[in-house]
Amino acid sequence: MKPLSRRTLLRGSGAALALPWLEAMAATGPGAKRAKAPVRMAALYMPNGIHPGMWTPAGVGREFTLAPTLTPLEPFKKSLIVATNLWNQGSKGGDGHYVKLSGFLTCTTVTKTLGVDINCNGISMDQVAAQRVGQLTPFPSIELGVSPVTTGVDRNVGYTRVYGSHIAWSGHTNPLAREINPQSVYERLLRATKPAAGNGPRNDAQLLDLVLDDARQLRAQLGRADQVRMDEYLSVVRSLEERLERATTPAQRKWKPRVAIDPAAKPEAQPKDFADHVRLMMDMIALAFQTDSTRIATFIFGNEVTNQNFSFVDGVKGGHHSISHHMDDAEQMRQYQLINQWHVAQYAYLLGKLAAMPEGESNVLANSMILFGAGFRDGNKHDPHNLPILLAGGGGGRLQTGQHLIYGPDSPLSNLYVSMLDAFGTPVERFADSTGPARGVLV
């Protein structure tokens, strides 16, 4: 029997569901072997640091007890690595917030500027991976958040707030814009697998050809600084063109996802509140991974310095940033910890969601690596020593989970990224200030 294409199925069913028919999609016949599910990778970033006394587990190695802030992760303890004593040297100094977030996945020091010299001086680890294997999925990566870039520039400290809102950098001067509307993410994922009516991808590609021509001609007339902008434009149009081309040619992927997207399950465009919004974005990450729309995602819970009102959490009254400046006041610290714990609970929600998605004989979580962290430890001090770092999921069997790993003081966070890139199948010799893989992470 000829294996069915995914599109055929979508046309037929219109719904997206894990069904037995999907077994038919696996290539059959002599020599065809069921391909192994790929590894997925996400990074979740929490702004404004943590209550330092309530985070680190007691015990070390496989024998450890979760500290209060991490208790929502109890059901996933066996899938979890808690890493202690990692730091991000590159984000030392500068200001208390912007350099921490923008340098979190690049492990570099961003250039201080209100805009004109914007430069993170590196590429973020997710994009290192995306640039190597992104062509295998409809989207090389997705970048998500819940709030728009904060208005204005911060003249108190001399940084553009663009730095406080972007952790994914595809080039030194290319922060990747985030999608914050869950419905729009959903429609985007859907369109990639099920082209909308209209021109169709082939004709869209023809349009883009002309546009690229325009841009190339124009580029020749421009000064050097403007050429850089036009190059950016050429590059983003080309990336769309490539995607459309992939949509018109049969997938080169050996592995095919077992589910498609359910067009009926569209989330609302304007979630009713912040908590709901975060949940919907977690759902979108899970959906993107489950359907293999992308294998790489980054998400930020809020822009740095956010004063998001957390009074919706029992026992908290006030805004995130102001509470994070706790001044060692017991009451402030109690609330701060509750806010941290709420974030960890959302992380646990995503882990649970992925764990509940079967994939072959295992599940999507077992084939994922989900990083959770903040760019500094204590909200009162803003220093990037002993960062709160969690990694969960099996990484396709590559991660040694169920551990509390304690490193020597000030071990590079970039070492963990080296290990993750290895497990992801895109190994690097070095990443930023790395000194090797992080001990004890990989099998």
Restricting to residues 198-217, which ones interact with another protein according to CB under 8 A? 198-199, 203-204, 206-208, 210-211, 213-215
Neighbours of 62 (CB within 10 A): 12
How far apart are CB 296 and another protein at their closest, in Å? 13
- Please tell me the count of residues contacting another protein according to CB under 8 A: 85
443 sits near another protein (criterion: CB under 8 A): no
Residue type, 359: E
Contact (Cβ atoms closer than 8 angstroms) between residue 186 and residue 267: yes
Using the rule CB under 8 A, which residue among 7, 132, 172, 325 binds another protein?
325
Which is closer to another protein, CB of 29 or CB of 223? 223
Q: What is the DSSP letter of 151?
A: S
d(CA 123, CA 114): 20
Contacts (CB under 8 A) with another protein, residues 276-305: 302-303
How far apart are CB 188 and another protein at their closest, in Å? 7
How far apart are CB 141 and another protein at their closest, in Å? 9
Closest CA to 352 of 340, 339, 363: 363
220 sits near another protein (criterion: CB under 8 A): no
137 sits near another protein (criterion: CB under 8 A): no
306 sits near another protein (criterion: CB under 8 A): yes
**3-class secondary-structure state, position 118:** coil
157 sits near another protein (criterion: CB under 8 A): yes
Contacts (CB under 8 A) with another protein, residues 115-134: 115-118
| Residue 240: C-alpha distances to residues 139, 143, 246, 327 (Å) | 10, 16, 10, 49
223 sits near another protein (criterion: CB under 8 A): yes
How far apart are CB 394 and another protein at their closest, in Å? 30
How far apart are CB 220 and another protein at their closest, in Å? 11
Using the rule CB under 8 A, which residue among 22, 136, 218, 428 binds another protein?
218
d(CA 222, CA 230): 9
Which is closer to another protein, CB of 325 or CB of 385? 325
Which is closer to another protein, CB of 26 or CB of 157? 157
Which is closer to another protein, CB of 25 or CB of 208? 208
d(CA 358, CA 70): 25
Contacts (CB under 8 A) with another protein, residues 24-83: none
Which is closer to another protein, CB of 256 or CB of 325? 325
d(CA 256, CA 103): 34
Helices (H) and strands (E) in the chain, counts: 10, 15
Using the rule CB under 8 A, which residue among 149, 167, 297, 432 binds another protein?
149
d(CA 424, CA 326): 38
Report the first-to-last Cα separation within the chain, whole angstroms.
Answer: 39
194 sits near another protein (criterion: CB under 8 A): no
Which is closer to another protein, CB of 19 or CB of 218? 218
Residues 6+ away with beta carbon under 8 Å from 366: 79, 355, 359, 393, 394, 396, 397
Contact (Cβ atoms closer than 8 angstroms) between residue 110 and residue 126: no
Which is closer to another protein, CB of 162 or CB of 418? 162
Contact (Cβ atoms closer than 8 angstroms) between residue 105 and residue 421: no
How far apart are CB 338 and another protein at their closest, in Å? 13
106 sits near another protein (criterion: CB under 8 A): no
339 sits near another protein (criterion: CB under 8 A): no
240 sits near another protein (criterion: CB under 8 A): yes
**Pairing state of beta strands 389-392 and 80-87?**
antiparallel
Q: What is the DSSP letter of 387?
A: -
Using the rule CB under 8 A, which residue among 236, 265, 356, 443 binds another protein?
236
Residue type, 292: D
